[in-house]
Amino acid sequence: MKPKKDLIRIVRNKEGDVFVDPTGKKNGRGAYLSSDRNVIEKARKTGILSRQLNAEIDMTIFDELMKIVENDEK
């Protein structure tokens, strides 16, 4: 278990759109990933987000997650 502030939320809304939710308050089915490069890479390789959100995850989502982690490290 990690504090919510150390996690990044990814959401699938009713229309099926998948996006990163930095506020953690958007409506829709959410999944959380740790703000860790290794965790994001593992999620990309295993397809766990696709299964959790029951939606196709565009690779740009993972790029966006990596940018968020890079900015947090600065």
pLDDT tens-digit series, residues 20-74? 998 999 999 999 999 999 999 999 999 999 999 999 999 999 999 999 999 887 7
Q: Rounded to an integer, what distance in angstroms lies between the CA atom of residue 12 and that of residue 73?
A: 26
Structure tokens belonging to residue 25: 């308050």
Predicted confidence band at 12 (pLDDT cuts at 50, 70, 90)? very high
Q: Whole-prediction pTM value? A: 0.88
Q: Is the dihedral of CA 26, 31, 36, 41 positive or negative?
A: negative
- Position 34 scores a pLDDT of 94
- Position 14 scores a pLDDT of 95
